[in-house]
Chains A and B, each alone.
Chain A
Amino acid sequence: MGIANVVNMCSHLQNASRAHLGMTSFPHTKYNLSLAITLHRRGWLSFVTRGGTKPPDPATISTFEPEPLTTANVSRQRLWVGLKYNAAAGGKPVLGAITPITTPKRPITVKLKDLERLARGLDSHPHRGLNLGESIILTTSLGTLDIREAIERKVGGLLLCRVGP
């Protein structure tokens, strides 16, 4: 269920980014949260916060306090993320493409050796090497990591999605 939501989240992020939206939201789940935090850590998103069905005020986002999580409101909680646009490139979205790799039907895991090849831009069948500005987010035993973080920590894992400009 969680992986399915990650796939939906990827599609939604790409659609929202290409539509030049300022912020968007998706269901607040464990997998979604870990992916959103990783994307934010690597600079693809401007902020990630938990919120209700109403969006938080973007002007005061740095001091935004979500309501406490209770069993009563947990099902209505959403993750609100801010999307980034590149002013130097004429307002092109920073997150231009995000494609899911693992699907609920077919989990795809990659070992460290192949990750190293991919990160150098070399193909590792069936995966194409990373292009300029691209990245792969994967779930490992050390948490959800970017491909370069995973290589740094010498760990492979489950490929969640491929992110690119």
Chain B
Amino acid sequence: MSVARPTRCLLSRRLAAAAKPAAPASQCHAPFHSSAQLAGRRKPRFKSIRAEEIGLTTPEKIEEYGNKVFPRYTPEELEVLRKRYTGKQMAALEAGEAAIDPKDLTIQGRLRRDPYRIPYIDDFSKIYPIIDKRPKVHHPPNPFARFMTEEEDVADLTRRLEALIPKDVNFENLPQEEVEKILDQRIDFPLEEAKYFLEPETLAGAHGPSNSAVAPALGKKLAGVEGMYKPPIDPADEGKDDQGIYQDLKRRTGLSVRDILDINSKILVTRVVHNQTRLGKIRSTWILAIAGNGDGRLGIGEAKSVEMAVARQKAKLLAIQNMQPIRRYEDRTIYGNVKAKVGATIVQIEARPPGFGLRASHRLFEIFRSVGIRDIAAKMPRGRNPMNSVKACVQALQSQRDPEELAAGMGRKFVDLRKVYYGGNVH
């Protein structure tokens, strides 16, 4: 492309423009918005004038306006009001009138006209529960109220009965039947009796009805009641259970706290479980505990709680509560071979000779130790789920048959050869 070409274009355009007849130059730019142009807007005909410049804020003008808009009652109007209201009400009216200065109303008083205004103008005769506070019609409760003494109670009853007696009847010199007849007519005895029993006034110095539907709280240091709401501490516990943890268990099992504390309880399985709610997962801890006294009693307890410590405590207490006797041969092993199945877990337990020891997995070992078994072999040929293994082991131990019972069923005599051979000196 030739260098001369742009120059030629430029020159030709310039020349073409010069050849055209001159158009009138546009005075304003093309409008870029739809509002009226500045030149087209109307200006106010008057400048804004302040109230002071007109003289509306002088004290005289204000008073004049106030007297015109908020006039005081005329003597005639007051006469009409006096006919309508009592003296006290009139005094209140006048006091209210005197309390409000018309000048304040003139300067500050505004009536709202916006759509969000409060639907009333200081109408105190009505209570709007959303806007107004609940009226407290009664006195606040007396903090020094106390229970009636016996004499006061009797006096209260006397006062109630005397209030029932009609005042406009002269009972003097009336025969007994007449008196009873009048009383029956005038007094609804069943209703009064019900009132006395259902709405008893037990406090002396109480201020009558309360502002709250809730009964007033008793004082903290109420004579005769002070200190009675502590959990009772049983002296038989020897100070071992001041928290009252074992009291329920003690009542259920009949064991003393010392015996309960001597029982060996152990947590064998802990699981963190989740409850999926629409608000998220709620994590809880599930605990399986066993308890054994080391002398043929075994219990299993399972508990779940959001708090791990609570679950542990509950599981241990339940385990103690659920303790059952377990049959033991010579107090060292079991009778025969037993087997139990929970889920996919099978636990096989076999009796073993003295001195064999405990050959079992760690959870089963703890169970055998706590129940007081010393010679045993346990096998779990299939699943080894912790929970199921413990449960199956306990089931297996409980499924032992009594040899005497079996022999009786078959009508045969049962003899323990070991005892016969060793002359009863087996342990």
Residues of A near any B CB (own CB < 8 A): 42-44, 84-86, 88-89, 94, 131-133, 165
Contact = CB atoms under 8 A, between A and B. Distances in A.
Among all A-B residue pairs, the 9 with the closest Cβ atoms: A132-B336, A43-B410, A86-B409, A94-B409, A133-B406, A43-B411, A131-B336, A88-B405, A131-B337
Given A131-B336, A132-B335, A132-B336, A89 B405 contact: yes
Nearest to B403: A132
Contacts of B406: 86, 94, 132-133, 165
A84 B408 CA distance: 11
Contacts of B167: none
The winner among A42, A89, A94, A132 for most chain B CB atoms within 10 A is: A132
B335 A165 contact: no
A25 B401 CA distance: 28
Interface string B33-61: 00000000000000000000000000000
B410 A44 contact: yes
A89 B410 CA distance: 12
A94 B405 CA distance: 10
A133 B337 contact: no
A133 B401 contact: yes
A133 B411 contact: no
B336 A89 contact: no
The winner among A86, A89, A133 for most chain B CB atoms within 10 A is: A133
A133 B336 CA distance: 9
A133 B408 contact: no
B412 interface: yes
25 contacts: A42-B410, A42-B412, A43-B409, A43-B411, A84-B409, A84-B410, A86-B405, A86-B408, A88-B405, A88-B408, A89-B401, A89-B402, A89-B405, A89-B409, A94-B406, A94-B409, A132-B401, A132-B403, A132-B406, A133-B336, A133-B401, A133-B403, A133-B406, A165-B401, A165-B409
A88 B335 CA distance: 18
Contacts of A133: 336, 401, 403, 406
Nearest to B335: A132
Contacts, number: 39
Interface in B302-326: none
Given A131-B337, A132-B335, A133-B336, A94 B410 contact: yes
Contacts of B336: 131-133
B305 to A, nearest CB: 36
A133 B337 CA distance: 11
A131 B348 CA distance: 13
Given A132-B401, A133-B403, A165-B401, A88 B409 contact: yes
Contacts of B337: 131-132
A156 to B, nearest CB: 22
Nearest to A92: B409
A131 B411 CA distance: 19
A85 B337 CA distance: 22
Contacts of B411: 43
A86 B411 CA distance: 10
B205 to A, nearest CB: 67
A43 B413 CA distance: 11
A86 B410 CA distance: 9
A42 B401 CA distance: 19
Nearest to A43: B410
A132 B399 CA distance: 12
Contact of A43 (B335, B403, B412): B412
B406 to A, nearest CB: 4
B393 to A, nearest CB: 18
Contacts of B412: 42-43
Interface in B385-427: 401-403, 405-406, 408-412
A77 to B, nearest CB: 27
Nearest to A130: B336
Contacts of B402: 89
A86 B412 CA distance: 13
A132 B411 CA distance: 16
B140 to A, nearest CB: 68
A84 B43 CA distance: 121
Contacts of A88: 405, 408-409
Contacts of A94: 406, 409-410
Nearest to B412: A43
Given A131-B336, A133-B336, 4 more contacts: A84-B410, A88-B408, A132-B406, A133-B403
B321 to A, nearest CB: 23
